[in-house]
Structure 1
Amino acid sequence: MAEEVSNYENMTDLACEKIGGHVLFATDDWFAPAENLLKYEDPVFKVGLYTDYGKWMDGWETRRKRKPGHDWCIIELGMPGIIKGVEVDTAYFTGNYAPKFSLQAVQLKHDDEAKFPSRQIDAMGTECSDEALALVKSMKTENWQELIPMTPLTAGYINTSRKFFKINSDKVYSHIRLNIFPDGGIARLRIYGQVLHKVDFSIKEEIDLVAMKNGGVCHSYSNAHYGHPKNLICPGVGKNMGDGWETARRIDRPPILQADERNILQVPGNEWAIFRLGCIGKINKVHIDTNHFKGNYPDSAKLEGGLLKNGVIDWKIVLPTTKLSAHAIHEYHSEDMLHFGPFSHVRVTIMPDGGISRLRIFGQPIQEHPEI
C-alpha cells in the first residue's frame, strides 16, 4: 500500500551510493544507466541536453523493448538491514516511465556476491551480453523473496512521481532485484530501513557509537531546511554542504548580536537533532566536523546523552556549550566532558543555526538496546 514520506525520512537509505550501494547487473542501460537510481541527490531535468543515445535523463532508462521479456537490475545494498519501506520516484519520466514494477530481495553470502559478472563503469548505450545474462539467470534471482508484487507506477510529474510502500518483514537483506515491466524509466529507488550491526561485546574496542554503519539512526530533529541530520552519521568525509545537516536561519536571532566573556553569541533560539546510538555505550571522545561550512557554521554547540527508560530519556550534559569555527574538525576528549554514560541516545544542539558535516561519538560498547 502507498505510504507517506514522513514515515521514512529519518531512516537510512540502505541502497544509496553514498553508503556503498551499487548496481551489480542490469539488462539494459541504453538511455541512462541504472547507477542513477542510487544517487543521494534528488533527480534533475536538463532542457535540451542529448547524448549520442537520446535525451539525457537523471535515472535508469532502458530502450523501447523489441524482444520478449522485461528489464531488471540487481543492486547490492550499501549496508545489509531490515527493509521498512521503499520509495520509487519517476520524476521527469512523463511519457517514458516504467508502467509497472516489482521488488525482490535476498541475503547473500560473500561467495555468492562474487558470482556476478563485472559491470561496465559507464554503461550508457549498452545492454548486457548474452553471456552475462546467462550467468545471472543461472543464479535464479527471479526466485528471491517478493517484497512488492507487480504494481502500477504513474508519470513523473510533481504531484504523481513519488510512491512509498511499507514493507512488513523482520528479515535482513543484502541484495535487491528491481523489475520494470516491460521497459522505461525510473529516476530514484530508495530502500529505507534499519542497519543491523552486531557488536562483539567481548572485544573491548572503541567504536563510533552513532555511526550509521554501526546501527546509529536519526531519531528526530527541529529543522532540516537544507540538509537532513542523518547525513551527520554517514560514512566518510562530507563532500559538500549538501552532504551535511544545515538548518534555515532562525528568524528570532537578535537584530544586533552580542557575545559573553567566552565570545559565545547570546541568542534565544537553537536547533537540535537526536540520534539513537547503535548500542548502549560510554563516550570517550567526540568529533564535531564543520567541513565545507564556512559562512554558515553554527556559532556554538552542546552535546547531551541520555538513557531511555520506560519511554523517557533523562538527558545529561556531555559537552557543555562550546564555540565552533568554520570548516574544521573539533575534537573533544574526556577532560572536556561532564558525563560519559552509559547512554542510549545523544542530542546535539547548535546555536543559533547553521550547518555541521559530521558527528562522531567514539566510545565503549556496553550492551544492546533492550528492545532489539
Structure 2
Amino acid sequence: MDGWETRRRRTPGHDWCIIQLGIQGTIRGFDVDTAFFTGNHAPRISIQAACLQDEEIPDIPPRGTKLGCAATDDEVEAIDKLESGNWNCIVPMEELKPGYSGSNHNYFSVSSNQRWTHLRLNIFPDGGIARLRVYGTGQKDWSSADPKELVDLVSMVHGGVCVGYSNAHFGHPKNIIGIGKPKSMADGWETARRLDRPPIIEADDDGILLVPGSEWAIFRLAHPGVVTQIEIDTHYFKGNSPDTCKLEGCVLTTPEEEEGILQKWHLPSVKWKPLLSVTKLSSNKKHLFDSVALQLQNVITHVKITIAPDGGVSRLRLRGFPSSICLLRPSERVLSSRRFPVIVPLRAMNSTFKIT
C-alpha cells in the first residue's frame, strides 16, 4: 500500500492531513489517485487551501514515518493553531472511484486565481489514497522581492511558463525551467534529429555547422524584467547537445500571446530583440553568458530560445531584475506587473505542472 491509509474509524469525525506545497502558486486542478485501494479507498474527499506567511506557521512536531497510530494530543494542538478547518474550500465534498485500473484517477478542476502555500486534504470518513497530484503555476510573491537582488525570471518556481515550441520528441521544453539541477536527459528538452540535415556536415570558419533549420521554444517570464545573466546547461547531453543557440526577447500582451499560440507563433509582427547572439555550445556543460539587454536595458515579457540544428538542453536560467516600468513605444504595450504571472488557454499545450 504505497499511499496514505487510515485505520477504520470507530470514533466520530473524519480524517485529514495538512500538506505544504513544494511551490507556492495558483492551482488549476487535482488528480486524486486511488490506485490499488479497491476495497478500502476513501469514498469522499474535499480540499481546502491557505496562503500562509512563515510567521503564521507554528512549530509542528514532525510525524516522521510513524505508522499504526493516530496523531497525539500535542500534535493536534499544534495543528489547531493553523485553524485549517476555516481555510478556503477549493474542492467541495466529492465522491471518489475505487482504485481499479481505468477508474482510479479522480480529476477536479479549480478556478481560483489566488496564490496558495498549504492544503488540507479531508477524507470522509476514512480510507486510502495512493497519490495526490496538484497542478498549477508557480507564483512568486513579488511584493516582498528585493528589487536589487537578481532573480531567475523564467523559472517555473516563480511563474515562468512554456507557451510554444517547434519540437518535443524526447522531452518537453518546460523541463528546462524546472526545479533544481537536472537529473538526467529525460529531465530536459530534447528534439528529434532534423531530417533536413545534409548527408555530409560542413562548418564555416568559426566552426559553426552549415546546416539548415533549427528548433525553438518560447517562454512567458514570471515577471516583466531586464535579463542580465544567461545560463544554458547541457548536462547529460553528451552526444546530442545543440551546435549553437541564440536567445531573443520581446514584449507581448495577453491577447498577443494568445494569438501567437493560435497561429503557432508564425507572427511576423512580433519584434524579437537579441539577448544572446548565435553562440557555440559544448556538450555536458553549464554555459554562462552576459545578456546584451544589460547594455540596452530592454524590459521583456517573453523569451525565445533557438537551438541549431537540433539536440537537447537540460536547463535555462535567465537572471535579472523585475521591472514594472517599461519605456516602450505605444505599440509595445506591457501589462501591469500585478497581472503577472497568469495562465492563458494553451489549447492542446500542457502549460501547467505538478507543484506538490
For normalisation by structure 1, the TM-score amounts to 0.73
CA distance in 1, matches of 2:52, 2:75: 19
CA distance in 1, matches of 2:252, 2:178: 23
On the 8 A contact 1:282/1:341 being kept in 2, the answer is: yes
- Name the counterpart of 2:44: 100
How far 1:329 moved relative to its partner? 0.7
What is the one-letter code of the residue matched to 2:51? Q
On the 8 A contact 1:209/1:363 being kept in 2, the answer is: yes
- Name the counterpart of 1:48: none
- 2:305 is aligned with 1:359: no
- Name the counterpart of 1:148: 91
- Name the counterpart of 1:173: 116
What is the one-letter code of the residue matched to 1:318? L
DSSP-derived class of the 1:232 partner: helix
- Name the counterpart of 2:199: 256
On the 8 A contact 2:28/2:109 being kept in 1, the answer is: yes
CA distance in 2, matches of 1:123, 1:298: 48
DSSP-derived class of the 2:93 partner: strand
On the 8 A contact 1:70/1:183 being kept in 2, the answer is: no
On the 8 A contact 2:166/2:216 being kept in 1, the answer is: yes
CA distance in 2, matches of 1:159, 1:266: 50
State the number of aligned residues: 313
CA distance in 1, matches of 2:70, 2:295: 59
What is the one-letter code of the residue matched to 1:265? L
- Name the counterpart of 1:227: 171
DSSP-derived class of the 1:189 partner: strand
CA distance in 1, matches of 2:290, 2:56: 43
- 2:74 is aligned with 1:131: yes
On the 8 A contact 2:138/2:156 being kept in 1, the answer is: no
- Name the counterpart of 1:17: none
How far 1:155 moved relative to its partner? 3.8
Q: Deviations over 1:236-261 (max 9, x none)?
A: 322333332233x2352536351321
How far 1:156 moved relative to its partner? 4.1
- 2:215 is aligned with 1:278: no
Within the candidate set 282, 290, 293, 2:234 is matched to: 290
On the 8 A contact 1:85/1:166 being kept in 2, the answer is: yes
On the 8 A contact 1:272/1:350 being kept in 2, the answer is: yes
Within the candidate set 283, 289, 311, 2:256 is matched to: 311
Report the aligned-residue RMSD: 3.1
Moved more, 358-367 or 187-196: 187-196
Q: Deviations over 1:263-291 (max 9, x none)?
A: 33344443322111122222222110112
CA distance in 2, matches of 1:134, 1:144: 17
CA distance in 1, matches of 2:138, 2:73: 36
DSSP-derived class of the 1:131 partner: helix
- Name the counterpart of 2:343: none
Within the candidate set 95, 103, 117, 1:160 is matched to: 103
CA distance in 1, matches of 2:160, 2:248: 16
For normalisation by structure 2, the TM-score amounts to 0.76
Instruction: Return 5+ residue gaps in structure 1 as ranges.
Output: 1-30, 32-56
How far 1:153 moved relative to its partner? 2.2
CA distance in 1, matches of 2:83, 2:186: 39
CA distance in 2, matches of 1:201, 1:131: 36
On the 8 A contact 1:317/1:339 being kept in 2, the answer is: no
Moved more, 204-213 or 168-177: 204-213
Correspondence list, 1:73-84, <5 A: 73-84=17-28
- 2:335 is aligned with 1:370: yes
What is the one-letter code of the residue matched to 1:311? E
Moved more, 220-229 or 318-327: 220-229
Q: Indicate the structure whose relative CO is greater, using CA pairs within 8 Å and at least 6 residues apart.
A: 2
How far 1:166 moved relative to its partner? 2.4
Percent of pairs identical after alignment? 41
- Name the counterpart of 1:21: none
How far 1:176 moved relative to its partner? 0.5
- Name the counterpart of 1:65: 8
Moved more, 194-203 or 144-153: 194-203
What is the one-letter code of the residue matched to 2:74? E
CA distance in 1, matches of 2:46, 2:240: 43
CA distance in 2, matches of 1:258, 1:92: 53
CA distance in 1, matches of 2:69, 2:171: 35
